[in-house]
């Protein structure tokens, strides 16, 4: 039988391998070196399963010298207990790629894959097997799985957060000024230009930035808000640019992506831009001009694909004349300026907001509260130095602390009544009657005082924080916790 005689004849390559003739030319030696030094086990058989070639990894796994393996049939090796089954034999029988776990006589496991190589007539020429330590593969898979779970968790969190944010899709815009701003924003959103939002604290700059992003061509990509005032100066560069592993001591050993990278393809909202120190202003300008970003300690440069929206409640022109803000950066950012008017200058919005916030709170706490006529009048007449944020917080406080369905309150519940001038303010009298737990009263007093100081400082956070004797970051935290 031809097969039997074929079977008996040693494969020509086998002879060459055993006599070392295979590795005579430099090219062959080079290939041999690669095979020998491969971390994986590699071994090749003829179409009967006779071993033609085995590398050091295979020898180690099978606990045989390579010379002892060459020429042996895989079925013989399995029978002898060298390993428990032969993917090679299965690949020969099925004429297809076979993968599986094989165990040696000590129970060491490898993940092996055998691939039959066919000639033009569909005949098997040889079977190539490579195998890798199973623990290594499994550890890798487990690490990958862990990573995947973490990514999934972050993705869900991001989706949740953006849903929370976009829960408030309807912007309040009853006043002619706000209606015009919305119109302009719809138009601006589609352009990819840098936008500068200017307005007092609490006028809705962040709300507007998110609105522009949501209506832009980048809406499916991230919107990353960065409060420039809340990042300690010494961390600004690494936060914005990120760093590679080992860039400096105390850094995350894995390295860290910067904000430009995190916001890739999306929008980077640079809030409180006036608080950036001059050195960082120059670095930001370079990114805006060249579009190039380099992580700290990295030699690679990549292009930042980010739309910038900046915001401030400061008078940047005045800061420029005092050399506190770079004029070149100002002109780079101020491509499309958008001013958000103070709430007192758009009275039509006051009651629209008040009702919207009351409705939201009624829904949240399953209440049916309404404003009394007097409360409506007071809300309308107040000058709202903290703008929409202050209005929201006042209403939340009223809803939580009042009993009964009709919201009634005294004038001095609001810190400073509308007087026509921002400097004339009236503060709550010391005889004011508080209600509720000590904690809620303390919170209430704190809110009032922060509001008062913010108003006196014209909404300038840095100055207000200095006067309150707390760090700017703390003041922001208190503001964001809806303390005011």
Residue ranges that bind ligand ATP, judged by CB under 6 A: 168, 171-172, 199, 201-207, 271, 313, 388-389, 392
Binding partner of 201, given Mg ion, ligand ATP, none, CB within 5-8 angstroms per partner class: ligand ATP
d(CA 466, CA 186): 38
| Smaller CB separation from ligand ATP, 210 or 295 | 210
CA distance 458 to 356: 26
CB of 397 to ligand ATP, least distance (A): 14
**Least Å from the CB of residue 352 to ligand ATP:** 9
DSSP output for 34-84: HHHH-SSEEEEE-TT-BEEEE-HHHHHHHTS-HHHHTT-BHHHHHHTTSBS
Which residue, among 207, 208, 171, has the nearest Cα to 189 in the 3D structure? 208
Residue 13 interacts with, from Mg ion, ligand ATP, none (CB under 5-8 Å by kind): none
Residue 337 CB, nearest distance to ligand ATP (Å)?
Answer: 15
What minimum distance in Å lies between the beta carbon of 199 and ligand ATP? 6
Backbone angles phi, psi at 267, to 5 degrees: -120, 135
Q: Whole-number minimum distance, CB 310 to ligand ATP, in Å?
A: 12
State the binding partner of 114 from ligand ATP, Mg ion, none, CB within 5 to 8 A by kind.
none
**Residue 199 binding target from ligand ATP, Mg ion, none, CB below 5 to 8 Å by type:** ligand ATP
- As a whole number of angstroms, the distance between CA 303 and CA 2 comes to 66
Residue 93: Cβ-neighbour burial (10 angstroms; 0-12, 13-18, 19+): exposed
Is residue 206 near Mg ion by the rule CB under 5 A?
Answer: yes
Residue 204 vs 385, nearer CB to ligand ATP: 204
Q: Which is nearer to Mg ion, 116 or 225 (CB)?
A: 225
| Residue among 388 and 468 whose Cβ is closer to Mg ion | 388
Do the Cβ atoms of 109 and 125 come closer than 8 Å? Answer: no
**Half-sphere exposure of residue 437: CA atoms within 13 angstroms, side-chain side:** 4
> Which of residues 268 and 293 has its CB atom nearest to ligand ATP in the complex?
268
- Residue 308 beta carbon to ligand ATP: minimum distance, rounded to whole angstroms: 16
* In the complex, minimum distance from the CB of residue 237 to Mg ion, in angstroms, rounded to a whole number: 22
- Strands 98-103 and 109-118: what pairing? antiparallel
Residue 409: DSSP 8-state: -
- Residue whose beta carbon is closest to ligand ATP: 204
Q: Are strands 292-293 and 336-339 parallel, antiparallel or unpaired?
A: unpaired
Using CB under 5 A as the criterion, what x/- string covers residues 268-297 for binding Mg ion?
---x--------------------------
452 binds, among Mg ion, ligand ATP, none (CB under 5 to 8 A by kind): none
Q: In terms of CB distance, is 83 or 211 closer to ligand ATP?
A: 211
**Cβ closest to ligand ATP, residue 133 vs residue 315:** 315
399 or 479, CB closer to Mg ion?
479
Sequence-distant (6+) residues with CB within 8 A of 394 are 379, 413, 414
Residue 251, judged by CB atoms within 10 A of its CB (0-12, 13-18, 19+), counts as middle
Question: Per-residue b/e over 136-150, b at no fewer than 16 CB within 10 Å?
Answer: eeeeeeeeeeeeeee
- Pairwise CA distance, residues 57 & 55, whole Å: 5
Give least dist CB 265 to ligand ATP, A.
23
Report residue 64 as tokens: 């045989």
Tell me the window of 110-118, 264-272, 284-292, 359-367 that interacts with Mg ion (CB under 5 A). Answer: 264-272
- Site size for Mg ion, by CB under 5 A? 2
Which parts of this chain interact with Mg ion (CB under 5 A)?
A: 206, 271
């Amino acid at each position: 039988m031809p097969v039997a005689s074929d079977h008996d004849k040693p494969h020509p390559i086998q002879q060459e391998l055993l006599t070392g003739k295979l590795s005579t030319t430099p090219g062959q030696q080079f290939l041999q070196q690669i095979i020998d030094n491969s971390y994986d086990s590699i071994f090749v058989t003829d179409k009967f399963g006779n071993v033609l070639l085995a590398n050091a990894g295979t020898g180690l796994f099978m606990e045989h010298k390579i010379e002892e393996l060459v020429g042996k049939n895989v079925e013989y090796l399995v029978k002898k207990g060298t390993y428990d089954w032969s993917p090679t034999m299965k690949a020969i029988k099925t004429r297809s790629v076979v993968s599986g776990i094989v165990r040696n006589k000590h129970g060491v496991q490898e993940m092996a894959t055998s691939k039959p190589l066919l000639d033009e007539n569909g005949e098997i020429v040889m079977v190539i097997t490579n195998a890798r330590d199973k623990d290594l593969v499994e550890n890798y898979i487990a690490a990958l799985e862990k990573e995947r779970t973490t990514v999934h968790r972050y993705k869900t969190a991001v989706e949740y957060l953006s849903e929370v944010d976009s829960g408030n899709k309807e912007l309040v815009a009853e006043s002619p000024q706000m209606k015009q701003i919305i119109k302009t924003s719809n138009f601006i959103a589609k352009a990819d230009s840098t936008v500068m939002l200017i307005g007092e604290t609490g006028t809705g700059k962040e709300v507007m930035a998110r609105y522009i992003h949501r209506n832009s061509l980048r809406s499916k990509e991230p919107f990353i808000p960065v409060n420039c005032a809340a990042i300690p100066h010494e961390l600004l560069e690494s936060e914005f640019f990120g760093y590679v592993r080992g860039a400096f001591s105390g850094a995350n050993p894995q390295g860290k992506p910067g904000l430009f990278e995190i916001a890739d393809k999306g929008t980077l909202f640079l809030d409180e831009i006036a608080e950036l120190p001059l050195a960082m202003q120059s670095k930001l300008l370079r990114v805006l001009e060249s579009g190039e970003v380099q992580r700290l300690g990295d030699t690679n440069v990549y292009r930042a694909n980010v739309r910038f929206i900046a915001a401030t409640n400061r008078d940047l022109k005045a800061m420029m004349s005092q050399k506190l803000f770079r004029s070149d950066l100002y002109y780079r950012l101020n491509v499309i300026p958008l001013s958000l008017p103070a709430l007192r200058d758009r009275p039509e919005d006051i009651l629209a907001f008040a009702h919207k916030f009351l409705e939201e709170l009624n829904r949240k706490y399953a209440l049916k509260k309404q404003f009394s006529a007097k409360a409506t009048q007071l809300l309308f007449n107040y000058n709202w130095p903290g703008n929409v944020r202050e209005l929201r917080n006042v209403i939340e406080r009223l809803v939580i602390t009042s009993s009964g369905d009709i919201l009634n309150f005294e004038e001095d519940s609001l810190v400073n009544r509308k007087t026509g001038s921002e400097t004339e303010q009236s503060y709550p009298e010391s005889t004011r009657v508080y209600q509720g737990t000590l904690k809620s009263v303390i919170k209430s007093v704190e809110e009032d005082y922060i509001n008062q100081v913010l108003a006196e400082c014209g909404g300038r956070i840095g100055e207000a924080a200095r006067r309150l004797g707390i760090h700017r970051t703390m003041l922001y935290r208190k503001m964001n916790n809806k303390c005011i």
